[in-house]
A and B are shown apart, each in its own frame.
Chain A
Amino acid sequence: MNQRWEIWVGLLGTVMLVWAHYTGLFVSPPEAMMGDVGRILYAHVPTAWVGLLTYLVAFIAAIGALATGRAAWDAMVEATVEVGLLLNVLLLIQGSLWAKPTWGVYWTWDPRLTTCAIMVVAFGVVLALRRQIDAPMRRLTISSVATIIAFVNVPIVYLSVKWWKTLHQPYSSPETVDSAMVTPLRVAAFGMLFLATAFVVRRWRIGLVALQRDFEAPDLPEASAPLKVED
């Protein structure tokens, strides 16, 4: 297969998203309670599904990095956390835009919204930590541990609509929406999945080049005194 297969996967994902959003906006029926506002479902729900899935891959990659100590797993942690964070922020923006006409406010301290916002900070810290640590093995260990701990929040986000009294609707799935909405929702979900996969793989390739260089660099002794210029 082509070494840059992710470009084709990304293009396929983009085409699927365009088709799904066209169908969602102009062909499928309006939502029974919310009317046309409900059409944001085709963007919001796939973003949530794929965002949580990306964090799951980050969690698995973090375990792989801790177990093997290899740069490939470390680059995957970096790539998936970055893409997951991007989807997480998009999710909050889409949710706020949806909340204004339906709940009357852009933001409310609802358990689902709050746990999603916490997830942004928890995974954002992983990237902040990576920028703070220069030693490659130490960076691998610390950021992998931080990713595993941050992942504890993901099941809480998923189950928050079940555990607490919440304004947010329960889990969305093809079984919970009308059959006329299922096809564009499914296509949008797979389109988002393909696009996110393309982003992750491309970011992984870029990150891997830099990380392999770091891993292969010889360890330099720490400077015992400030360097001085001889006169």
Chain B
Amino acid sequence: MKTIRDVLWKDLLIEWRARSRTVALLSFAYTILLLFAFAIGPDAAALRQHAGAYLWLGLLLCSSLLLDRTMRTEFEAGAIQSLMLVPVSSSGLFFGKALANTLQLWLVGAVSVPLVFVVCDASLTESVGLMALTLVMGAAGLAAPGTLYAAMIARLSGRQLLLPLMLFPLVVPVVVAAVKSTSLVMLGDPMDQIGSWLVLLGCFNLVYWSLCGILFGRVVEA
């Protein structure tokens, strides 16, 4: 637990010291949301109907930038080798880094939600807690495989193309479940379906976090 906490703190501190990168990422998310709105045109009903999808597609695009950047920082100047020399478990390193990525993605999501409300004329029909829970679980579902993949390709020349190519197909179930859950939170859930989508998100998170935690050590050692 101490390893996870220390790595999480280290990663958040690095991000805090390079705040301009986080601001750039938030601006990117905002631009994507605006572009979706421009592409659809002044059809308020269509924008409201698909607001959840725009939010998660924006987060997905941001995730590829964020994950590549956080892992590149680790591999620059051999920092990862120094980290591996510390006598701690590689799973602890993975969970710390993936949690830091989850928190950052969640922050981008939390800032994007009010923008979605403004741009798409959407609003919350269900509770704020359900929205926050969907954001946390969706961000975690993107961050776990994303952290592993970013580590796998950190030294490859075409990594900026490879990361979305590897990550996006893999996280389709996460995106589908997160979009459905978000849409139900925004548009209303008369059939009580949110619970089943959140359970599906929970199952994917369980599989990805445990599998990636086991495999991360081998990837970094390679």
Min CB gap A162→B, angstroms: 13
Nearest to B220 among chain A residues (CB) is A141
Residues of B contacting A138 in the complex (Cβ-Cβ under 8 angstroms): 222
Residues of A contacting B172 in the complex (Cβ-Cβ under 8 angstroms): 114-115, 118
Min CB gap B57→A, angstroms: 15
Main SS class of interface, A: helix
Min CB gap A135→B, angstroms: 8
Interface status of A121 (Cβ within 8 A of chain B): yes
Known: A142-B152, A146-B152. A125 touches B222 (CB 8 A): no
Residues of B contacting A66 in the complex (Cβ-Cβ under 8 angstroms): 215, 218
Residues of A contacting B148 in the complex (Cβ-Cβ under 8 angstroms): 145, 149
CB <8 Å contact, A152 and B162:
no
Nearest to B204 among chain A residues (CB) is A152
Name which of A39-47, A75-83, A126-134, A189-197 contacts chain B: A126-134
Residues of A contacting B152 in the complex (Cβ-Cβ under 8 angstroms): 129, 142, 145-146
Residues of B contacting A125 in the complex (Cβ-Cβ under 8 angstroms): 162, 165-166, 169
Distance between Cα atoms of A164 and B172 in the complex (Å): 14
Interface status of A148 (Cβ within 8 A of chain B): yes
Nearest to A120 among chain B residues (CB) is B169
Chain B residues numbered 195-222 whose CB sits less than 8 Å from any CB in chain A: 207-208, 211-212, 215, 218-219, 221-222
Interface status of A150 (Cβ within 8 A of chain B): yes
Known: A141-B222, A142-B219, A148-B211. A118 touches B169 (CB 8 A): yes
Min CB gap B214→A, angstroms: 9
Chain A residues numbered 22-44 whose CB sits less than 8 Å from any CB in chain B: none
CB <8 Å contact, B165 and A128:
yes
Distance between Cα atoms of A95 and B119 in the complex (Å): 40
Interface status of A156 (Cβ within 8 A of chain B): yes
Known: A121-B165, A129-B162, A133-B156. A149 touches B218 (CB 8 A): no
CB <8 Å contact, B145 and A122:
no
Nearest to A153 among chain B residues (CB) is B170
Known: A129-B162, A145-B148. A156 touches B173 (CB 8 A): yes
Distance between Cα atoms of A128 and B169 in the complex (Å): 15
Interface status of A53 (Cβ within 8 A of chain B): no
Residues of A contacting B162 in the complex (Cβ-Cβ under 8 angstroms): 125, 128-129, 132
Main SS class of interface, B: helix
Interface status of B158 (Cβ within 8 A of chain A): yes
Distance between Cα atoms of A145 and B153 in the complex (Å): 12
Residues of B contacting A115 in the complex (Cβ-Cβ under 8 angstroms): 172
A interface bracket (residues with beta carbon within 8 Å of B): 20 to 34
CB <8 Å contact, A142 and B222:
yes
Interface status of A57 (Cβ within 8 A of chain B): no
Min CB gap B11→A, angstroms: 22
Interface status of A182 (Cβ within 8 A of chain B): no
Distance between Cα atoms of A148 and B158 in the complex (Å): 22
Q: Which of A132, A141, A152 contacts B219 (CB under 8 A)?
A: A141
B interface, CB within 8 angstroms of A: 145, 148-149, 152-153, 156-158, 162, 165-166, 169-170, 172-173, 207-208, 211-212, 215, 218-219, 221-222
Given contacts A132-B157, A142-B222, A149-B212, could you give 16 more A-B pairs where the C-beta distance is less than 8 Å?
A: A66-B218, A118-B169, A121-B165, A125-B165, A129-B152, A129-B156, A137-B222, A141-B219, A141-B222, A142-B152, A142-B219, A145-B148, A146-B152, A150-B170, A152-B170, A152-B207
Could you show 20 A-B contacts with beta carbons less than 8 Å apart? A66-B215, A118-B169, A118-B170, A118-B172, A122-B170, A125-B166, A129-B152, A132-B156, A132-B157, A137-B222, A145-B218, A146-B152, A148-B215, A149-B145, A149-B148, A149-B170, A149-B211, A150-B170, A152-B170, A152-B207
